[in-house]
Structure 1
Amino acid sequence: MTTPAHQLSPSSWNNYASCPRKYWLSRQRLPRKAGMAATIGTAVHDSVEDFCNLDLTGQDPDEVGWLPPTAKRILDLHWQKEKEIFLGTPRHPAFKDGEIVRAHDLLIGSLNMLIANAKIGTTKMSEVSIAQWREVQETVLAAEGTLRSPCGRLMGRLDLLVKDLDEDRNPVGWIVADLKTGRPPPGGLYETVSRQLRFYRDMLLENNPNAPNVRAQGWYSAGPKVYEAEGPSVLEDAFRAWEGMAITKEPLEATPDDDACRFCEWKAWCPAWFHARSNGVLPAPTGIFRDEVALVLQFDEASGACMVELVSPKDEVGGIIPTGRTIGLICKGQALDQMRNVMTSDHRGAVFLGSIRTNAKPWAMGDWSEVIPWTPILKSLRHKSEEE
């Protein structure tokens, strides 16, 4: 099988469906951004995988009380690993060590859902014996497995494939379970999550035509709460999306709206959101935090005090016009380090100021903020590097 030039995964599909330009920028090998939510999610997922594969050979089958301290030990190891990755990522806010408490709660929620699905007759983790956990492990068919379509164009990472048991613990099918460490939705599953779960379900059935009945579920650790994903196959839509996701020399179409742009991590390289905001396609910033493009007029690298002039878009490709409106800023922490780096670099144009806190005078930027050279990308960097 020839490896395709690009592959569709649920996350890349979500990016593409949200805004093709966002997806295109995510493939340009730009500096990646780390976040605490993703770090927590990865630490919890990897800890659950370790529990599914835990070697309990030689341990007393009747031993209880082992699970809570084992959960802490395993999570601590993954937390430290993810912290190192987080701090080594080019773009990252301050690391919040205290969030390990939430990660621990989410791990306990995840393990409780595995225990409940196995129907072993107990719900207290401190009472789960070695023998009972082995029963839980026997219900796990795969943990963190990779699914690929026969043609190689579609792929995804499956969190859990577990046996679907009746009340007598007889297997009646399979459950594709995706662990979610975010907030459970107040109603049903969001469409993007439902599509992701059905994608895994349909890929599994495509690769296993003789599979038993397969259900797809979102397991929300914060509940813990289980949501069922029902609906028709999404594979035809996935292949259709794959056709449009080839990395072209020219940027893919931008479809700016509030949902796509609010937390987009590629704004420093995308002129579309800035132009859309000036034209009223995007709402004007009204909250405490806002993103701006500005010229730095003065900067004191010792105190972090800045005077900047806000700019407006000149065109749709990133050109700027000074507005004459000057704003005082105080940069601290990461924002100060980034401002120093930009001011001592070869960059002489505008800068993107991400997450300025505007309920202070002067405005404030800190570890939650970003200062990045304003460099809209109009040609694929991937194609350029390949040509060179």
Structure 2
Amino acid sequence: MTTPAHQLSPSSWNNYASCPRKYWLSRQRLPRKAGMAATIGTAVHDSVEDFCNLDLSGQDADEVGWLPPTAKRILDLHWQKEKEIFLRTPRHPAFKDGEIVRAHDLLIGSLNMLIANAKIGTAKMSEVSIAQWREVQDTVLAAEGTLRSPCGRLMGRLDLLVKDLDEDRNPVGWIVADLKTGRPPPGGLYETVSRQLRFYRDMLLENNPNAPTVRAQGWYSAGPKVYDAEGPSVLEDAFRAWEGMAITKEPLQATPDDDACRFCEWKAWCPAWFHARSEGGLSAPTGIFRDEVALVLQFDEASGACMVELVSPKDEVGGIIPSGRTIGLICKGQALDQMRDVMNSDHRGAVFLGSIRTNAKPWAMGDWSEVLPWAPLHESIRNSSYRNKSEEE
């Protein structure tokens, strides 16, 4: 099979559906950004995978009380690994060590859903015996498995494929389960999550035509709560999206809106959000935090005190016009380090200021903020020397 020039995964599809330009920028090997939510999610997912593959040979089948300390030990190992990856990522806020408590709670929630699905007759983790956990493991058909379409254009990694058991523990089908460490939705599944789950379901059925009944579920560890994803096949839509996702030399179309742009990590390279905001296509900044593009007029490296002039967009491609509005800023922590880096670099021009806290006088930037060169990208640099070495292709 010839490897296609690009592949569609649920995450890249979501990016493309949200904004083709966002997807295009995500494939340019620009400096990646780490976040605590992703770190927690990866640590929990990897810990669950270890539990599914845990070698319990040689242990007393009746032993109880082993599961909680084992969960802590496994999570601690993955937490340290993810912390190291987090701190090596070019763009990252301060690492919050205390979040391991939340990660532990989410791991317990995930394991409890595995236990409930296995119907082993106990609800307390401290009472789960070695023999009972082996029964749980027996229900797991795959953990962190990769799915690919026969043509190679579609791919995805499913968290869990487990047996669907009736009340007598007889297998009646399969469940594609995707672990979610975010907040459970107040109603049903969000459309993007439902589409992701049905994508896994449909890919599994495509590759296994003799499969039994397959259900797709979102397992939210914070509940814990289980949501079923129901609906028609999404594969035709996926192939249609794949057609538009080829990485072109010129940027793909931007479709700025509040949802797509609010937490986009590529704003320093995208002029579309800035122009759309000035034209009323995006809501005006409200609340405590805001993003801006500015010229740095004065900067004291020792104290982090800055005087900046906010700029306005001149055109749709990133040109700027000084506004005459000057603002005092205090940079601390990561923001101060990044401001020093930018000011000591070869960059001579505007900067992108991400997550400025505006309820202080002067305005404040810290570990939650970003200072990056304002560098709208007008053509692909995937094959240039400007690459992020930490990106996994």
| TM-score, with structure 2 as normaliser | 0.97
Preserved contact between residue 31 and residue 388 of structure 2 (Cα < 8 Å): no
> Helix, strand or coil for the counterpart of 1:219?
strand
Q: Deviations over 1:267-298 (max 9, x none)?
A: 00000000000000001101100000000000
> Helix, strand or coil for the counterpart of 2:308?
strand
Q: Name the residue aligned to 1:153.
A: 153
User: How far, CA to CA, are the matches of 2:111 and 2:259 in structure 1?
Assistant: 32
Preserved contact between residue 338 and residue 370 of structure 2 (Cα < 8 Å): yes
Residues 188-337 of structure 1: pairs in structure 2 closer than 5 A: 188-337=188-337
Preserved contact between residue 198 and residue 229 of structure 1 (Cα < 8 Å): yes
Preserved contact between residue 112 and residue 125 of structure 2 (Cα < 8 Å): yes
Counting matched residue pairs gives 388
Q: Deviations over 1:44-88 (max 9, x none)?
A: 000000000000000000000000000000000000000000000
Preserved contact between residue 143 and residue 160 of structure 1 (Cα < 8 Å): yes
> Helix, strand or coil for the counterpart of 1:201?
helix
1:61–1:148 distance in 2 versus 1, CA, 3 Å: same
> Helix, strand or coil for the counterpart of 1:100?
helix
1:387–1:76 distance in 2 versus 1, CA, 3 Å: closer
User: How far, CA to CA, are the matches of 1:176 and 1:384 in structure 2?
Assistant: 33
Q: Name the residue aligned to 1:345.
A: 345
Q: Name the residue aligned to 1:385.
A: 390
Preserved contact between residue 249 and residue 383 of structure 1 (Cα < 8 Å): no
Q: Deviations over 1:74-124 (max 9, x none)?
A: 000000000000000000000000000000000000000000000000010
Unpaired runs of 5+ residues, structure 2, are 382-386
Structure 1 residue 306: Cα displacement: 0.1
Preserved contact between residue 289 and residue 358 of structure 2 (Cα < 8 Å): yes
User: How far, CA to CA, are the matches of 1:343 and 1:141 in structure 2?
Assistant: 54
| TM-score, with structure 1 as normaliser | 0.98
1:106–1:387 distance in 2 versus 1, CA, 3 Å: closer
User: How far, CA to CA, are the matches of 1:178 and 1:240 in structure 2?
Assistant: 24
User: How far, CA to CA, are the matches of 1:303 and 1:81 in structure 2?
Assistant: 34
User: How far, CA to CA, are the matches of 2:338 and 2:188 in structure 1?
Assistant: 41
Preserved contact between residue 8 and residue 242 of structure 1 (Cα < 8 Å): yes
Structure 1 residue 386: Cα displacement: 17
Preserved contact between residue 183 and residue 222 of structure 1 (Cα < 8 Å): yes
Instruction: Give the % identical residues.
Output: 95
User: How far, CA to CA, are the matches of 2:99 and 2:391 in structure 1?
Assistant: 41
> Helix, strand or coil for the counterpart of 2:389?
helix
Preserved contact between residue 258 and residue 283 of structure 1 (Cα < 8 Å): yes
Preserved contact between residue 21 and residue 254 of structure 1 (Cα < 8 Å): yes
Structure 1 residue 383: Cα displacement: 15
Q: Deviations over 1:102-158 (max 9, x none)?
A: 000000000000000000000100000000000000000000000000000000001
> Helix, strand or coil for the counterpart of 1:141?
strand
User: How far, CA to CA, are the matches of 1:174 and 1:249 in structure 2?
Assistant: 43
Preserved contact between residue 197 and residue 229 of structure 1 (Cα < 8 Å): yes
User: How far, CA to CA, are the matches of 1:284 and 1:298 in structure 2?
Assistant: 27
Structure 1 residue 213: Cα displacement: 0.1
Preserved contact between residue 216 and residue 229 of structure 1 (Cα < 8 Å): yes
Structure 1 residue 205: Cα displacement: 0.0
Q: Deviations over 1:320-359 (max 9, x none)?
A: 0000000000000000000000001000100000000000
Unpaired runs of 5+ residues, structure 1, are none
User: How far, CA to CA, are the matches of 2:370 and 2:12 in structure 1?
Assistant: 24
1:384–1:133 distance in 2 versus 1, CA, 3 Å: closer
Structure 1 residue 384: Cα displacement: 17
1:312–1:227 distance in 2 versus 1, CA, 3 Å: same
User: How far, CA to CA, are the matches of 2:341 and 2:134 in structure 1?
Assistant: 53
